[in-house]
Amino acid sequence: MPSDDRRLLVAERMRGAYPTIGAALLDCPDDAVVEIADGVYAETFEFVERRLTLAALPGATVVIDGALADRPVLHSRDGDLTLRGLQVRAGDGSGVIVEGGSFTMSNCVIQGGAEATVLVRSSLMVAIERCQILGEITGLVLEGVSGTVSETTVKDVLGDGIVMAFGSDIVLRDCVVDGCGGRGIYVYQYGRPELERCAISRVGLEGIEVAHRSAPRLIDCSVRDTRGPAIRFGKDCAGSIAGIALANNAQPAIVIPPGASTEVAEGGPPPAATRGVVDDLLGGLDTMVGLAAVKSEVRAMVDEIQVNEWRREAGLNVGSVSHHLIFAGAPGTGKTTVARMYGKLLKALGVLPHGDFREVSRRDLVGQYIGHTAEKTSVVFEKAKGGVLFIDEAYTLSRSAGSGADFGQEAIDTLVKLMEDHRDKIAIIVAGYTSEMRQFLDANPGLASRFTKTIEFENYSPDELLLITDRMVKAGDYQLDPAAGTTLTEYFARMSDDPNFGNAREARRLFEAARKSQSRRLRTLERMPTSDELRVLSDTDFTEAAGF
């Protein structure tokens, strides 16, 4: 969450306040909180690489009205957007679109227009809770997204209620989907979400449809009043169903064709330490490029946890095992992805109750005055209990890295005490450069005993970065010109000596720059490009993107 350094007040008829949200945004710095008084604000916004919070004042009814606009009401690109207590009305565009970066939304009502009401794509940190999403076309669309959606209702849409695609592994917990002309929930293109205690009702097609090699887990959900089957899996899909409640659905209520490897458990959810789930997760880890030493360390930890569980069941002594880790290495080496997978493994092994992933940094933990930091850190810790708390660039909390008053040290001291008081209820992973993480451990005498294992994430080789780039290209429905391989390898070899080299982040930046170069190149053709021309990213595109 953004810090409390700067707060700007928007009120239409209050002297000294900003009359419109747009006026406040022109003045607000990154990490500011824009607090909004009662009113209807006929405005739309596009944010590019902005970190900010838009929040209704307590008790206020705030409507951001884009009903007359033909564009999204709120559109964030590669930023950090937080929405609290707002009502958003869309016209011919979406209510909210988030592309990249992170997104938090709580206690909001989003009224859709002629497109998806809420669309989130390519975001690795999403938290939506206690919201209502009311769509005309599609409710909530999540593409290539990780995070949680909890206690949220999607209702009264003409099409699908919730769509999850392109590898989304988000957790839906205690959500309601009601009144959809299409499917209640649609999972496709390698989606791996988890649905816990969700209720789907009154839909025109399937309650839940799974397609294109997706593998969701459905736990204690209910599906009723559907015109199509309650649940339908495609032949190439996997996943599991446990504790499902069905009523008044088309028959057969559950469709699992030959070829699908979906598991259906009778009664409650499957055992926590099911071998299949753990193997699937480890298989996903193996598909990551490189990271041989990291994969070996994770497998060794899984083996130790599993054997300890067998010893416990046999009545044998089990030593104390810390699940807190240090991930040391440069940016873009897969630390966040592995941390998220680690939480799912701990859940599958029965170590943690839900394994949710929460990523924070210094600004989420550190306050502005004595005592404020302890409060903020405790709130973050409490929300992360039962899952993984991932603290990126944790070394910035230590005294040597802090600035001004020593509030970072207060956060460290608070964390050490909470870790002692709530051992076995959370897994904390601290991440950063190797040398700086050594300094971090010196910040409190108790840190070294809490973090007994360090996993080193080495830089990717140029060949590995070429493979990562090729995967990004294919995932975007492009094709890499074979001639570009030499250019990319030479570029990555040259850049790898830079101490600020971003590894996979640099590969992502280069891919996006090549797409822009391709767009400029194709615009000069003065004709409609062929399908192959639209798909291929040429050596020229990457040469221009790399600045060769």
List, as one string, the DSSP characters of 283-349.
HHHHTSSS-HHHHHHHHHHHHHHHHHHHHHHTT---------EEEEE-TTSSHHHHHHHHHHHHHHT
Whether residue 244 is found in the same domain as residue 308: no
Residue 207 in any domain: the answer is yes
Tokens of 523: 């615009």
Parallel/antiparallel/unpaired status of strands 109-111 and 86-90: parallel
Residue 40 in any domain: the answer is yes
**In the listed set 457, 475, 508, which residue is the last one of a domain according to the structure?**
457
Residue 213 in any domain: the answer is yes
CA distance linking residue 94 with residue 111, whole number of Å: 9
Residue 303 CA: distances (Å) to CA of 288, 310, 451 = 20, 11, 19
Whether residue 120 is found in the same domain as residue 253: yes
pLDDT above 60: residue 447: yes
302-341 pLDDT, tens digit per residue, is: 888 888 877 776 777 777 677 889 898 888 888 888 988 8
DSSP E strands, 451-513: 453-457, 479-480
Structural domain including 366 reads 275-457
Residue 406: per-residue pLDDT = 64
* Residues 6 or more apart whose Cβ sits within 8 Å of residue 317: 311
Tokens of 516: 């822009």
Whether residue 495 is found in the same domain as residue 354: no
**In the listed set 265, 283, 316, which residue is the last one of a domain according to the structure?**
265
- Contact assessment for residue 203 and residue 227, using Cβ atoms and an 8 Å cutoff: yes
DSSP E strands, 102-221: 102-106, 109-111, 118-121, 125-129, 132-134, 140-143, 147-150, 153-157, 162-165, 171-173, 176-180, 185-187, 194-196, 199-203, 208-210, 217-219
Query: Could you give the number of structural domains in the chain?
Result: 3
At residue 144, φ and ψ (nearest 5 deg) are 60, 45
**In the listed set 393, 428, 457, which residue is the last one of a domain according to the structure?**
457
Whether residue 246 is found in the same domain as residue 156: yes
Whether residue 401 is found in the same domain as residue 492: no
Residue 276 pLDDT level (bands cut at 50, 70, 90): low
Greater pLDDT, 545 or 162: 162
Residue 5 pLDDT level (bands cut at 50, 70, 90): low
107-126 pLDDT, tens digit per residue, is: 999 998 888 999 999 887 89
Whether residue 244 is found in the same domain as residue 324: no
Whether residue 374 is found in the same domain as residue 441: yes
Tokens of 209: 């449809």
pLDDT above 70: residue 266: no
Residue 401: per-residue pLDDT = 45
Radius of gyration of the chain (CA): 24
Residue 271 pLDDT level (bands cut at 50, 70, 90): very low
Whether residue 331 is found in the same domain as residue 398: yes
Residue 63: per-residue pLDDT = 97
Quickly tell me which residue has 């089990």 as its tokens. Answer: 318
Whether residue 141 is found in the same domain as residue 14: yes
167-184 pLDDT, tens digit per residue, is: 899 999 999 999 999 999
CA distance linking residue 519 with residue 22, whole number of Å: 31
17-32 pLDDT, tens digit per residue, is: 999 999 999 999 988 9
Which domain CATH number covers 436?
A: 3.40.50.300
Residue 268 pLDDT level (bands cut at 50, 70, 90): very low
- Looking at every residue in the chain, the average pLDDT score rounds to 87
Whether residue 202 is found in the same domain as residue 235: yes
Q: What is the pTM of this model?
A: 0.55
Residue 48 in any domain: the answer is yes
Candidate from 99-108, 439-448, 480-489, 534-543 with smallest mean pLDDT: 439-448
CA distance linking residue 241 with residue 271, whole number of Å: 12
pLDDT above 60: residue 405: no
Alpha-carbon dihedral 403, 409, 410, 414, rounded to 10 degrees: 150
- Contact assessment for residue 134 and residue 153, using Cβ atoms and an 8 Å cutoff: no
Residue 3 pLDDT level (bands cut at 50, 70, 90): very low
Whether residue 252 is found in the same domain as residue 280: no
First to last CA, the chain: 39
Alpha-carbon dihedral 84, 88, 94, 96, rounded to 10 degrees: -10
Greater pLDDT, 165 or 370: 165
Residue 313: per-residue pLDDT = 67
CA distance linking residue 130 with residue 132, whole number of Å: 7
Which DSSP state fits 72? Answer: -
Which domain CATH number covers 216?
A: 2.160.20.10
- By percentage, how much of the chain surpasses pLDDT 70? 95
pLDDT above 90: residue 104: yes
Residue 2 in any domain: the answer is no
- Over residues 50-68, mean pLDDT: 95
Which domain CATH number covers 497?
A: 1.10.8.60
Residue 495 in any domain: the answer is yes
- Contact assessment for residue 453 and residue 326, using Cβ atoms and an 8 Å cutoff: yes
CA distance linking residue 449 with residue 446, whole number of Å: 6
Residue 203 in any domain: the answer is yes
Whether residue 477 is found in the same domain as residue 453: no
Residue 270 in any domain: the answer is no
Quickly tell me which residue has 């909530």 as its tokens. Answer: 140
